[in-house]
Chain A
Amino acid sequence: MPFRRGFILLLLALLWSPTAMAEKIAVFPIEDLSQGPNGVDFALTEYLEKDLDARGLEVASQEAVISFMARNRIRWLGFLNTYHILQVRKELGADLILLGTVSQRSEEPSAAFGMVLYLIRTDDARTVWSQARGLSCNDIRHVLGIAEPRSAEDLWPIAVQDILENWPKDMGLNRDQDAVSEIAEVDLGRRYVSSGKKVTCNLRLRSIEEGDRPEVTLRVRGKGHLRMKHKGGNLYQASWTASATEGSYPVSLILYRPSGKHKVAFLGIYHVDNSPPVLALGIRGLRLHGAVAFRDRILIIPRLLEQEPVSRWGFSVQDEQGKTIVHERREGNLPKCFVWQGRTDDGVRVDDGNYQIVIKVWDQAQNMAVVSERLALMHNPPDMVLEAKTRGQGLVLDIRNKGRVPIAFWHMEIWDDDGNLIKTAEGETLPAEVDVALPESTVECVLTAKDILGNQFRKEIKDLKLLVSQENVEGTATEEWSMEF
């Protein structure tokens, strides 16, 4: 019977064919780290394919492998994930995958080559064999130096053969396959929420066979089981309101298969947080009359008394009328310090006076904390008063500070018209009196002072007698002074 003869011939042909029962292997392009991240060595890949073919394995064509990579958007070399490994089995029919990495390749001072190969079984996505080999020309020395390798090009075939000598005999193929359901993407939204806010979980599963679509459920602490809505394709979504109680809330995924099997996977944790951050300010300055006084700049150090992630912050300065003159807000962590140089947002220097700084901080759950502090900007020089009175044959100079800022020190010099220093006086407190003999000729008086904020005062009186004749003449601060010595 021709039909029976044909069937027997076909069976014999299958039995005789060396590749009919051969394991199929997909050799992925070999990654070459010596060329930088994602470098590739096609020559080495082709060499491996030919060698494995010669060993009786059925090798998937390089075009098929490259096409698979393009189809599955695999943009890296040297590794695969479980889903792609299973897809290789499904799309390319391969039992095995060979991945490899050239770990080093150099020519100077002595040529060297290193590589690693991995063999992955596709039915359970398990790496079943691996070898690493490093070779240098110094490792291979022949008698009289004949046929010694001299470059990396000479070395890599030797390294590959060394590795393939240990090719495994049994790779345990054709065992029971444990189907793995893979999560492609999961997004639990914000990790920190306040009570009553909406929490949304978006999930994308790997491709699902028709008829094997699972029922997708979330298990959330305090909420029980929530069935996820199918949003088309492999997308699922579930939303719920955050509990009233603060704490950590784990979320797990349960996939119920039509077969009755189910699988649980832990997705993550979100935190319910209703407490605002506890914020304190450290300000380096002198406290005067209930405000922190400063002359040209002030350093403000915000400090979270209980460490927690900050989502955003705001910094503002208000004048005495409550008008905001500086305002800045940013996303992310608080800076280590703020420095205010007594200027508006436009860079205009503001007048002496009281100001209010306000710092607002929001945690990840958008709970807000506010701290503020009163500042006193004082960059005018000390407001000094110098009066002279006659007392017997001499003069008494009365020095006083009319300003709000205490004096750090004062210094007075009296010079005759020949340029001789006839009197000096100094001190750290005011008011003070200085006795001077009534001069016969013209004498000059120079008074300098500095307040505790660093503002400086300097006044020159060309003739002290004029001061006497006027009696109680005040030295005005605006005539001669300088901010710096």
Chain B
Amino acid sequence: MYLPWANSVSLRLVLSLTLLCLAACGPKVPDLVKYASLPDERICRIAVLPFVNETDYPLADTIAYRVFMAELVQTGRFDLAQEGDVREAFRHMRIWPGQQPRIEQIKILGDRLRVGLIITGTVVEMAEVPMAGAVNPVIALSLRIVDPGSGETLWHTYHRRDGEHYRKVMHFGILNTATSLADQVYREVLDLWFKKGLKGCAD
């Protein structure tokens, strides 16, 4: 039986859903700037230095650091220097919390921790914006891959996302916590890095 109104409603529904999907499918690739090439050989062991917190969010640096470490371990491609070893080396070299090491100190850290690459990070933004009985988490991060041999930055990535960015249809897809958003953001950053040529031990 031919029902013109039904077809019209179905068509509108399909179009609406398509538009919603398109709206949710904005550019998801983090910004990556390559200052120099990564080493040709595969990197087995890396160190992540304590992050710097440039936000008002309490302990945003520690939260972002721990989630990033978890995401790196999950890739299964690297042997990570223990956070305790990194912090102990910082203490020996009198690098205080919130400070980024100098180039000379980066070289010493690389040798002491026996790592092929060093990653540094800054939490540029972390917030949970209240909205209608929920919160919209926001995270902006700046991550650098540093060559411990020269102390120079090889790659720099900036990535900013909020939980609403992942909305698919209705409330589905939204990320409601800073932890899950950070996890997602790091996944995107690491996916991009691997796609662009970062090689771990298992590659």
Contacts and interface: CB of A to CB of B under 8 A. Distances in A.
Interface stretch (B16-24, B25-33, B83-91, B152-160): B83-91
Contact of A129 (B73, B175, B179): B73
Interface string A130-141: 111111101100
A266 interface: yes
A79 B130 CA distance: 32
A110 interface: yes
Interface string B29-55: 000000000000000000000000000
B66 interface: yes
B178 A134 contact: yes
B62 interface: yes
A110 B133 contact: yes
Contacts of A133: 179-180, 183
A46 B135 CA distance: 30
Interface in A201-251: none
A138 B176 contact: yes
Interface in B136-159: none
Nearest to A266: B111
Interface string A278-313: 000000000000000000000000000000000000
A136 B128 CA distance: 12
B134 A114 contact: no
Contacts of B133: 109-110, 138
A80 interface: yes
22 contacts: A33-B62, A80-B82, A81-B87, A82-B85, A103-B63, A110-B134, A114-B179, A117-B70, A127-B73, A127-B80, A130-B74, A131-B70, A131-B74, A132-B179, A132-B182, A134-B180, A135-B177, A136-B176, A138-B174, A183-B112, A265-B111, A269-B108
Interface in B68-103: 69-71, 73-74, 79-80, 82-85, 87-88, 92-93
A132 B182 CA distance: 9
A79 B87 contact: yes
Contacts of B70: 116-118, 130-132
A84 B84 contact: yes
A57 interface: no
A56 interface: no
A79 B82 contact: yes
B169 to A, nearest CB: 14
Interface residues of B, number: 42
A78 B62 CA distance: 10
A48 B74 CA distance: 20
A112 B135 contact: yes
Contacts of A118: 69-70, 73
Contacts of A109: 130, 133-135
A132 B176 contact: no
A124 B134 CA distance: 44
Given A81-B84, A131-B70, A138 B178 contact: no
Contacts of A114: 63, 177-180
B67 A103 contact: yes
Nearest to A248: B104
A118 B48 CA distance: 15
B86 to A, nearest CB: 9
B179 A115 contact: yes
Q: A interface, how many residues as a size bin?
A: 35 or more
Nearest to A108: B130
Contacts of A110: 133-135, 176
Given A82-B85, A127-B82, A138-B174, 14 more contacts: A79-B87, A84-B84, A104-B179, A110-B135, A114-B63, A115-B179, A118-B73, A132-B71, A134-B177, A134-B181, A135-B180, A138-B171, A138-B176, A139-B177
A135 B161 CA distance: 18
Nearest to A119: B73
A128 B179 CA distance: 21
Contacts of A136: 134-135, 176-177
Interface in A313-358: none
B108 A112 contact: no
Interface of B: 58-59, 62-63, 66-67, 69-71, 73-74, 79-80, 82-85, 87-88, 92-93, 104, 107-108, 111-112, 128, 130, 133-135, 171, 174-183
B155 to A, nearest CB: 23
Contacts of B71: 130, 132
A419 interface: no
Interface string A255-281: 000000000011111000000000000
Most B CB contacts (10 A, CB to CB) among A80, A130, A186, A265 go to A130
Given A104-B178, A118-B73, A81 B85 contact: yes
Contacts of A85: 82, 84
A185 interface: yes
Contacts of B82: 79-82, 85, 120, 125, 127
Contacts of A113: 177
A99 B15 CA distance: 48
Contacts of A128: 73
A114 B133 CA distance: 19
A36 interface: yes
B84 to A, nearest CB: 3
Given A81-B88, A85-B82, A132-B71, A265 B112 contact: yes
Contacts of A78: 62, 66, 83
Given A110-B133, A112-B177, A36 B58 contact: yes
A103 B179 contact: yes
Contacts of B83: 78-79
Contacts of A135: 177, 180
Contacts of A45: none
B37 to A, nearest CB: 24
A134 B182 CA distance: 9
Nearest to A136: B176
